[in-house]
Amino acid sequence: MNLILLELNEINFEVAKHYFDDGEELPGFKKLFDNGVHSTESEHKYSNLEPWIQWPSVHTGKSYEEHGVFRLGDFINSDQEQFFEKVERAGYKVGAISPMNASNRLKNPTYFIPDPWTQTSSDDSYFSKSISKAINQAVNDNSKSKLTITTILNLCFAFIALVSPLRYFSMMKYALGCFGKPWRKALFLDMFLYEVHKKLLKKNKTNFSTLFLNAGAHIQHHYFFNSPFVKSDELQNPSWYIGHDQDPILEMLRVYDSMLLDLLDIKNSEIIIATGLSQKPYEKLKFYYRLKEHNTFLKNIGLDFIKVEPRMTRDFLISFNSLEKADLAEEKLASILVNNKHRLFDEIDNRGTDIFVVLSYPYEITEKTVITINGNDFKLKDLVTFVAIKNGEHQSKGFSYFSKNLLKYSPKNESHVSAIHKTVLDFFGINNG
Protein backbone atom coordinates (compact mmCIF):
# COMPACT_ATOMS: atom_id res chain seq x y z
CA MET A 1 0.00 0.00 0.00
CA ASN A 2 1.98 3.00 -1.31
CA LEU A 3 0.99 6.61 -1.97
CA ILE A 4 3.02 9.46 -3.48
CA LEU A 5 1.88 13.08 -3.16
CA LEU A 6 3.57 15.47 -5.58
CA GLU A 7 3.09 19.05 -4.36
CA LEU A 8 3.53 20.96 -7.63
CA ASN A 9 3.33 24.36 -6.03
CA GLU A 10 1.04 27.00 -7.62
CA ILE A 11 1.16 25.58 -11.16
CA ASN A 12 -1.72 26.75 -13.33
CA PHE A 13 -2.74 23.63 -15.26
CA GLU A 14 -4.84 25.78 -17.60
CA VAL A 15 -1.59 27.25 -18.91
CA ALA A 16 -0.29 23.77 -19.69
CA LYS A 17 -3.55 23.00 -21.48
CA HIS A 18 -3.19 26.22 -23.50
CA TYR A 19 0.20 25.03 -24.73
CA PHE A 20 -0.73 21.48 -25.69
CA ASP A 21 -3.98 22.67 -27.29
CA ASP A 22 -1.74 24.95 -29.36
CA GLY A 23 0.38 22.02 -30.53
CA GLU A 24 3.16 21.82 -27.94
CA GLU A 25 4.20 18.31 -26.86
CA LEU A 26 3.28 17.98 -23.18
CA PRO A 27 2.15 14.35 -22.97
CA GLY A 28 2.40 14.18 -19.18
CA PHE A 29 0.03 17.08 -18.58
CA LYS A 30 -2.23 15.84 -21.38
CA LYS A 31 -2.46 12.45 -19.67
CA LEU A 32 -3.61 14.18 -16.46
CA PHE A 33 -6.38 15.99 -18.34
CA ASP A 34 -7.37 12.87 -20.25
CA ASN A 35 -7.74 10.93 -16.99
CA GLY A 36 -9.45 13.77 -15.11
CA VAL A 37 -8.15 16.91 -13.41
CA HIS A 38 -10.00 18.25 -10.38
CA SER A 39 -10.13 21.88 -9.33
CA THR A 40 -9.69 22.91 -5.70
CA GLU A 41 -10.44 26.08 -3.75
CA SER A 42 -8.51 27.71 -0.96
CA GLU A 43 -8.98 30.96 0.95
CA HIS A 44 -11.00 33.78 -0.61
CA LYS A 45 -9.36 36.73 1.14
CA TYR A 46 -6.35 37.67 -0.99
CA SER A 47 -4.01 38.25 1.97
CA ASN A 48 -4.61 34.61 2.96
CA LEU A 49 -3.75 33.25 -0.49
CA GLU A 50 -0.22 32.09 0.24
CA PRO A 51 1.31 28.65 -0.29
CA TRP A 52 2.65 28.62 3.27
CA ILE A 53 -0.99 28.86 4.39
CA GLN A 54 -2.49 26.41 1.89
CA TRP A 55 0.06 23.60 2.32
CA PRO A 56 -0.49 23.41 6.08
CA SER A 57 -4.18 23.11 5.15
CA VAL A 58 -3.36 20.03 3.06
CA HIS A 59 -1.08 18.62 5.76
CA THR A 60 -3.55 19.16 8.63
CA GLY A 61 -6.95 18.98 6.92
CA LYS A 62 -7.81 22.43 8.32
CA SER A 63 -8.70 25.72 6.66
CA TYR A 64 -6.68 28.82 7.51
CA GLU A 65 -9.34 29.88 10.03
CA GLU A 66 -8.87 26.52 11.76
CA HIS A 67 -5.08 26.08 11.71
CA GLY A 68 -4.21 29.80 12.03
CA VAL A 69 -0.71 29.54 10.48
CA PHE A 70 -0.14 32.78 8.58
CA ARG A 71 3.62 33.13 8.00
CA LEU A 72 6.20 30.99 6.26
CA GLY A 73 8.14 28.97 8.80
CA ASP A 74 5.56 29.43 11.54
CA PHE A 75 4.16 25.90 11.58
CA ILE A 76 6.84 24.97 14.10
CA ASN A 77 4.80 26.98 16.63
CA SER A 78 1.55 25.16 15.84
CA ASP A 79 0.09 22.26 17.83
CA GLN A 80 -1.88 20.96 14.82
CA GLU A 81 -1.18 17.37 13.80
CA GLN A 82 -0.10 16.66 10.22
CA PHE A 83 -0.89 13.61 8.13
CA PHE A 84 2.80 12.63 8.28
CA GLU A 85 2.50 11.70 11.96
CA LYS A 86 -0.94 10.13 11.56
CA VAL A 87 0.19 7.78 8.80
CA GLU A 88 3.37 6.85 10.66
CA ARG A 89 1.41 6.13 13.86
CA ALA A 90 -0.77 3.75 11.85
CA GLY A 91 2.32 1.65 11.16
CA TYR A 92 3.47 2.91 7.76
CA LYS A 93 6.82 4.24 6.56
CA VAL A 94 6.73 7.99 5.86
CA GLY A 95 9.14 10.24 3.97
CA ALA A 96 9.01 13.86 2.86
CA ILE A 97 11.20 16.16 0.79
CA SER A 98 10.83 19.91 1.22
CA PRO A 99 7.15 19.99 2.37
CA MET A 100 6.33 23.68 2.70
CA ASN A 101 5.81 25.03 6.21
CA ALA A 102 5.82 21.58 7.78
CA SER A 103 7.47 20.36 11.00
CA ASN A 104 9.40 17.14 11.26
CA ARG A 105 7.57 15.43 14.13
CA LEU A 106 8.12 11.91 12.83
CA LYS A 107 9.60 9.37 15.24
CA ASN A 108 11.46 7.45 12.54
CA PRO A 109 11.17 9.04 9.09
CA THR A 110 12.56 7.03 6.20
CA TYR A 111 13.74 10.47 5.04
CA PHE A 112 12.81 14.06 5.85
CA ILE A 113 14.43 17.06 4.17
CA PRO A 114 12.66 20.25 5.35
CA ASP A 115 11.84 23.23 3.19
CA PRO A 116 14.55 25.94 3.17
CA TRP A 117 12.47 28.40 5.21
CA THR A 118 11.30 26.35 8.21
CA GLN A 119 13.54 25.79 11.23
CA THR A 120 12.86 22.09 11.68
CA SER A 121 15.27 19.15 11.60
CA SER A 122 16.01 16.79 8.76
CA ASP A 123 16.33 13.06 9.39
CA ASP A 124 19.69 11.96 10.80
CA SER A 125 21.27 10.69 7.58
CA TYR A 126 24.39 12.41 6.22
CA PHE A 127 22.87 13.15 2.82
CA SER A 128 19.62 14.57 4.19
CA LYS A 129 21.57 16.92 6.46
CA SER A 130 23.95 18.04 3.73
CA ILE A 131 21.19 18.48 1.14
CA SER A 132 19.13 20.46 3.64
CA LYS A 133 22.02 22.86 4.31
CA ALA A 134 22.84 23.17 0.62
CA ILE A 135 19.27 23.86 -0.49
CA ASN A 136 18.84 26.34 2.36
CA GLN A 137 21.81 28.38 1.15
CA ALA A 138 20.94 28.05 -2.53
CA VAL A 139 17.33 29.18 -2.06
CA ASN A 140 17.74 31.83 0.63
CA ASP A 141 20.61 33.46 -1.23
CA ASN A 142 18.83 33.16 -4.59
CA SER A 143 18.91 36.89 -5.22
CA LYS A 144 22.73 36.81 -5.18
CA SER A 145 22.79 34.04 -7.79
CA LYS A 146 25.85 32.56 -6.09
CA LEU A 147 26.40 29.20 -4.44
CA THR A 148 29.10 28.78 -1.80
CA ILE A 149 31.87 26.22 -2.25
CA THR A 150 30.39 24.16 0.60
CA THR A 151 26.97 24.16 -1.07
CA ILE A 152 28.45 23.12 -4.41
CA LEU A 153 30.47 20.29 -2.82
CA ASN A 154 27.48 19.02 -0.81
CA LEU A 155 25.28 19.05 -3.91
CA CYS A 156 27.97 17.29 -5.94
CA PHE A 157 28.40 14.51 -3.35
CA ALA A 158 24.64 14.03 -3.12
CA PHE A 159 24.32 14.19 -6.90
CA ILE A 160 26.85 11.38 -7.40
CA ALA A 161 25.34 9.25 -4.63
CA LEU A 162 21.63 9.74 -5.26
CA VAL A 163 21.11 10.60 -8.93
CA SER A 164 21.00 7.83 -11.52
CA PRO A 165 24.11 7.84 -13.76
CA LEU A 166 21.71 7.75 -16.71
CA ARG A 167 20.70 11.31 -15.77
CA TYR A 168 24.20 12.73 -15.26
CA PHE A 169 24.79 14.07 -18.76
CA SER A 170 21.37 15.64 -19.35
CA MET A 171 21.25 17.26 -15.89
CA MET A 172 24.79 18.61 -16.00
CA LYS A 173 24.17 19.97 -19.49
CA TYR A 174 21.09 21.70 -18.09
CA ALA A 175 23.03 23.06 -15.09
CA LEU A 176 25.66 24.58 -17.38
CA GLY A 177 22.81 26.22 -19.30
CA CYS A 178 21.95 28.31 -16.22
CA PHE A 179 24.36 31.04 -17.26
CA GLY A 180 22.31 33.94 -18.59
CA LYS A 181 19.08 32.08 -17.79
CA PRO A 182 18.66 32.38 -14.00
CA TRP A 183 15.34 30.52 -13.91
CA ARG A 184 17.23 27.35 -14.78
CA LYS A 185 18.91 27.32 -11.37
CA ALA A 186 15.52 26.81 -9.70
CA LEU A 187 14.54 24.20 -12.28
CA PHE A 188 17.79 22.31 -11.81
CA LEU A 189 17.19 22.19 -8.04
CA ASP A 190 13.71 20.76 -8.67
CA MET A 191 15.16 18.18 -11.07
CA PHE A 192 17.72 17.27 -8.44
CA LEU A 193 15.09 16.94 -5.68
CA TYR A 194 12.97 14.78 -7.96
CA GLU A 195 15.87 12.39 -8.55
CA VAL A 196 16.73 12.32 -4.83
CA HIS A 197 13.11 11.54 -4.00
CA LYS A 198 12.99 8.77 -6.59
CA LYS A 199 16.16 7.17 -5.20
CA LEU A 200 15.14 7.40 -1.53
CA LEU A 201 11.60 6.23 -2.24
CA LYS A 202 12.86 3.07 -3.95
CA LYS A 203 15.65 2.42 -1.44
CA ASN A 204 13.46 2.77 1.66
CA LYS A 205 10.25 1.25 0.26
CA THR A 206 8.34 4.19 1.72
CA ASN A 207 4.55 3.80 2.01
CA PHE A 208 3.64 7.49 2.07
CA SER A 209 5.94 10.03 0.49
CA THR A 210 5.58 13.70 -0.41
CA LEU A 211 7.72 15.82 -2.71
CA PHE A 212 7.34 19.62 -2.90
CA LEU A 213 8.60 21.43 -6.02
CA ASN A 214 8.71 25.22 -6.16
CA ALA A 215 10.58 26.28 -9.32
CA GLY A 216 7.36 26.59 -11.33
CA ALA A 217 5.84 28.99 -8.81
CA HIS A 218 9.02 31.08 -8.91
CA ILE A 219 9.05 31.13 -12.72
CA GLN A 220 5.36 32.06 -13.03
CA HIS A 221 5.84 34.91 -10.55
CA HIS A 222 8.80 36.28 -12.49
CA TYR A 223 8.26 35.40 -16.18
CA PHE A 224 4.53 34.92 -16.81
CA PHE A 225 4.45 37.89 -19.22
CA ASN A 226 6.78 36.03 -21.62
CA SER A 227 4.20 33.30 -22.18
CA PRO A 228 1.75 33.41 -25.12
CA PHE A 229 -0.89 32.59 -22.50
CA VAL A 230 -0.67 36.30 -21.58
CA LYS A 231 -2.20 38.14 -24.51
CA SER A 232 -1.44 41.77 -23.63
CA ASP A 233 0.55 44.56 -25.26
CA GLU A 234 0.84 46.35 -21.92
CA LEU A 235 2.11 43.41 -19.84
CA GLN A 236 5.60 43.06 -21.29
CA ASN A 237 8.87 42.47 -19.47
CA PRO A 238 11.61 45.00 -20.37
CA SER A 239 14.33 43.65 -22.68
CA TRP A 240 17.04 44.21 -20.03
CA TYR A 241 15.14 41.75 -17.81
CA ILE A 242 14.58 38.94 -20.31
CA GLY A 243 14.54 38.62 -24.10
CA HIS A 244 11.11 38.63 -25.70
CA ASP A 245 11.99 35.46 -27.63
CA GLN A 246 12.48 33.44 -24.43
CA ASP A 247 9.70 31.50 -22.70
CA PRO A 248 10.69 30.15 -19.26
CA ILE A 249 7.07 29.07 -18.67
CA LEU A 250 7.17 26.55 -21.51
CA GLU A 251 10.61 25.39 -20.44
CA MET A 252 9.34 24.82 -16.90
CA LEU A 253 6.30 22.89 -18.14
CA ARG A 254 8.53 20.63 -20.26
CA VAL A 255 10.72 19.82 -17.25
CA TYR A 256 7.68 19.01 -15.11
CA ASP A 257 6.07 17.08 -17.96
CA SER A 258 9.02 14.70 -18.04
CA MET A 259 8.67 14.20 -14.28
CA LEU A 260 4.95 13.52 -14.60
CA LEU A 261 5.48 10.83 -17.22
CA ASP A 262 8.09 9.20 -15.01
CA LEU A 263 5.97 9.47 -11.86
CA LEU A 264 2.86 8.04 -13.49
CA ASP A 265 4.91 5.06 -14.62
CA ILE A 266 5.92 4.01 -11.08
CA LYS A 267 4.55 0.54 -10.33
CA ASN A 268 2.45 -0.41 -7.30
CA SER A 269 1.88 3.17 -6.16
CA GLU A 270 -1.07 5.52 -6.20
CA ILE A 271 -0.44 9.14 -7.14
CA ILE A 272 -1.85 12.48 -5.99
CA ILE A 273 -0.68 15.63 -7.77
CA ALA A 274 -1.79 18.92 -6.22
CA THR A 275 -0.93 22.59 -6.67
CA GLY A 276 -2.34 24.04 -3.42
CA LEU A 277 -3.46 27.18 -5.24
CA SER A 278 -2.33 28.62 -8.58
CA GLN A 279 -1.26 31.81 -10.31
CA LYS A 280 -2.72 34.10 -12.92
CA PRO A 281 -0.97 36.96 -14.74
CA TYR A 282 -0.44 40.09 -12.62
CA GLU A 283 -2.07 43.30 -13.82
CA LYS A 284 0.93 45.67 -13.76
CA LEU A 285 4.70 45.87 -13.33
CA LYS A 286 5.96 45.53 -9.75
CA PHE A 287 9.63 45.27 -8.76
CA TYR A 288 10.96 42.92 -6.07
CA TYR A 289 14.14 43.66 -4.10
CA ARG A 290 15.90 41.97 -1.20
CA LEU A 291 18.35 43.35 1.35
CA LYS A 292 21.92 42.43 0.46
CA GLU A 293 23.10 41.99 4.04
CA HIS A 294 20.29 41.79 6.57
CA ASN A 295 22.51 41.83 9.67
CA THR A 296 24.59 44.78 8.50
CA PHE A 297 21.58 46.84 7.44
CA LEU A 298 19.74 46.35 10.73
CA LYS A 299 22.82 47.18 12.80
CA ASN A 300 23.48 50.30 10.73
CA ILE A 301 19.98 51.65 11.40
CA GLY A 302 20.54 51.14 15.12
CA LEU A 303 18.47 48.07 15.95
CA ASP A 304 19.42 46.01 19.01
CA PHE A 305 18.39 42.48 18.05
CA ILE A 306 19.35 38.86 18.74
CA LYS A 307 19.21 37.46 15.21
CA VAL A 308 17.62 37.92 11.81
CA GLU A 309 16.35 35.04 9.63
CA PRO A 310 15.85 35.74 5.91
CA ARG A 311 12.73 34.06 4.54
CA MET A 312 11.31 33.88 1.01
CA THR A 313 12.43 36.64 -1.40
CA ARG A 314 11.69 39.95 0.40
CA ASP A 315 10.76 38.67 3.87
CA PHE A 316 12.78 38.35 7.08
CA LEU A 317 12.15 37.67 10.77
CA ILE A 318 13.96 39.66 13.49
CA SER A 319 14.19 38.37 17.08
CA PHE A 320 14.68 40.60 20.15
CA ASN A 321 15.21 39.97 23.86
CA SER A 322 12.50 42.38 25.01
CA LEU A 323 9.15 43.81 23.95
CA GLU A 324 10.55 47.33 24.25
CA LYS A 325 13.36 46.68 21.77
CA ALA A 326 10.91 45.12 19.33
CA ASP A 327 8.59 48.14 19.61
CA LEU A 328 11.49 50.54 18.99
CA ALA A 329 12.56 48.49 15.98
CA GLU A 330 9.04 48.53 14.56
CA GLU A 331 8.95 52.32 14.90
CA LYS A 332 12.37 52.68 13.28
CA LEU A 333 11.58 50.39 10.35
CA ALA A 334 8.23 52.07 9.73
CA SER A 335 9.91 55.49 9.61
CA ILE A 336 12.26 54.68 6.74
CA LEU A 337 10.98 56.42 3.62
CA VAL A 338 12.17 56.10 0.03
CA ASN A 339 12.70 59.54 -1.53
CA ASN A 340 10.69 60.96 1.42
CA LYS A 341 7.54 59.47 -0.04
CA HIS A 342 7.05 55.67 0.17
CA ARG A 343 7.77 53.34 3.08
CA LEU A 344 10.55 50.86 2.43
CA PHE A 345 8.93 48.33 4.76
CA ASP A 346 5.16 48.63 4.46
CA GLU A 347 4.43 45.23 6.02
CA ILE A 348 5.66 44.93 9.61
CA ASP A 349 4.10 42.27 11.83
CA ASN A 350 5.08 42.82 15.50
CA ARG A 351 4.51 39.60 17.42
CA GLY A 352 6.04 40.64 20.73
CA THR A 353 9.72 39.74 20.71
CA ASP A 354 9.71 38.84 16.99
CA ILE A 355 8.99 41.08 14.02
CA PHE A 356 8.18 39.74 10.55
CA VAL A 357 9.13 42.29 7.89
CA VAL A 358 8.57 42.56 4.13
CA LEU A 359 10.62 44.86 1.90
CA SER A 360 7.52 46.08 0.10
CA TYR A 361 8.78 49.05 -1.96
CA PRO A 362 7.38 48.19 -5.42
CA TYR A 363 9.08 50.61 -7.84
CA GLU A 364 12.29 50.47 -9.86
CA ILE A 365 15.34 51.51 -7.83
CA THR A 366 17.80 53.77 -9.65
CA GLU A 367 20.85 55.87 -8.78
CA LYS A 368 18.47 58.61 -7.67
CA THR A 369 16.57 56.44 -5.20
CA VAL A 370 17.58 57.27 -1.62
CA ILE A 371 16.49 56.51 1.93
CA THR A 372 17.14 58.71 4.94
CA ILE A 373 18.44 57.16 8.17
CA ASN A 374 19.32 59.28 11.22
CA GLY A 375 19.44 62.36 9.03
CA ASN A 376 21.79 60.84 6.45
CA ASP A 377 20.90 59.90 2.87
CA PHE A 378 21.92 56.53 1.42
CA LYS A 379 21.59 55.18 -2.11
CA LEU A 380 19.08 52.37 -1.81
CA LYS A 381 20.66 50.65 -4.81
CA ASP A 382 23.77 49.94 -2.71
CA LEU A 383 21.75 48.24 0.04
CA VAL A 384 19.48 45.92 -1.94
CA THR A 385 19.73 43.44 -4.75
CA PHE A 386 17.21 43.13 -7.55
CA VAL A 387 15.18 39.92 -7.44
CA ALA A 388 12.55 40.11 -10.15
CA ILE A 389 9.60 41.85 -11.71
CA LYS A 390 6.32 40.41 -10.48
CA ASN A 391 4.50 38.69 -13.35
CA GLY A 392 2.10 36.34 -11.57
CA GLU A 393 -0.27 36.62 -8.62
CA HIS A 394 -2.07 34.04 -6.53
CA GLN A 395 -5.61 32.90 -7.11
CA SER A 396 -7.80 30.65 -4.97
CA LYS A 397 -8.26 28.04 -7.69
CA GLY A 398 -5.91 25.09 -7.58
CA PHE A 399 -5.65 21.80 -9.43
CA SER A 400 -5.34 18.17 -8.39
CA TYR A 401 -5.10 14.74 -9.93
CA PHE A 402 -5.89 11.37 -8.35
CA SER A 403 -4.83 8.04 -9.85
CA LYS A 404 -7.53 5.51 -10.65
CA ASN A 405 -7.62 3.62 -7.34
CA LEU A 406 -7.83 6.89 -5.40
CA LEU A 407 -10.90 8.24 -7.14
CA LYS A 408 -13.26 6.65 -4.59
CA TYR A 409 -11.49 8.66 -1.87
CA SER A 410 -11.02 11.90 -3.83
CA PRO A 411 -12.79 15.12 -2.81
CA LYS A 412 -15.59 16.58 -4.88
CA ASN A 413 -14.64 19.04 -7.57
CA GLU A 414 -14.01 22.56 -6.20
CA SER A 415 -13.62 21.28 -2.63
CA HIS A 416 -11.35 23.17 -0.25
CA VAL A 417 -7.74 22.08 -0.71
CA SER A 418 -7.68 20.80 2.89
CA ALA A 419 -9.92 17.89 1.78
CA ILE A 420 -6.86 16.21 0.22
CA HIS A 421 -5.81 15.41 3.78
CA LYS A 422 -8.81 13.11 4.22
CA THR A 423 -8.07 11.37 0.92
CA VAL A 424 -4.64 10.41 2.26
CA LEU A 425 -6.09 9.12 5.55
CA ASP A 426 -8.90 7.22 3.82
CA PHE A 427 -6.43 5.51 1.52
CA PHE A 428 -4.51 4.18 4.52
CA GLY A 429 -7.72 3.33 6.41
CA ILE A 430 -7.07 5.87 9.15
CA ASN A 431 -9.92 7.33 11.19
CA ASN A 432 -9.54 11.10 11.31
CA GLY A 433 -11.40 11.34 14.58
Give the model confidence (pLDDT) of 5-39 as tens digits: 999 999 999 999 999 999 999 999 999 999 999 99
What backbone torsions phi and psi does residue 229 show, to the nearest 5 degrees? -65, -30
The answer to whether residue 316 scores a pLDDT higher than 70 is: yes
pTM of this structure: 0.87
Instruction: Provide the pLDDT for residue 113.
Output: 97
All structural domains of the chain, each given as residue ranges with its CATH number in brackets, are 3-279+394-427 (3.40.720), 293-382 (3.30.1360)
Q: How many H-runs (helices) and E-runs (strands) does the chain carry?
A: 14, 18
The answer to whether residue 432 scores a pLDDT higher than 80 is: no
Give the residue, 12 or 377, on which the prediction is more confident: 12
Mean pLDDT of the chain: 93
Q: pLDDT band at residue 142, thresholds of 50, 70 and 90? A: very low
User: In the chain, what percentage of residues exceed pLDDT 90?
Assistant: 81
Q: pLDDT band at residue 154, thresholds of 50, 70 and 90? A: confident
Q: Among 9-18, 155-164, 189-198, 239-248, which stretch is predicted with the lowest mean pLDDT?
A: 155-164
Instruction: Provide the pLDDT for residue 143.
Output: 47
The answer to whether residue 311 scores a pLDDT higher than 90 is: no
Provide the angle, in degrees to the nearest 10, between the axes of the packed helices 248-264 and 183-204: 10
Q: Among 46-50, 64-68, 137-141, 263-267, which stretch is predicted with the lowest mean pLDDT?
A: 137-141
Q: What does DSSP say about strands 337-338 and 342-343: parallel, antiparallel, or unpaired?
A: antiparallel
Instruction: Provide the pLDDT for residue 133.
Output: 86
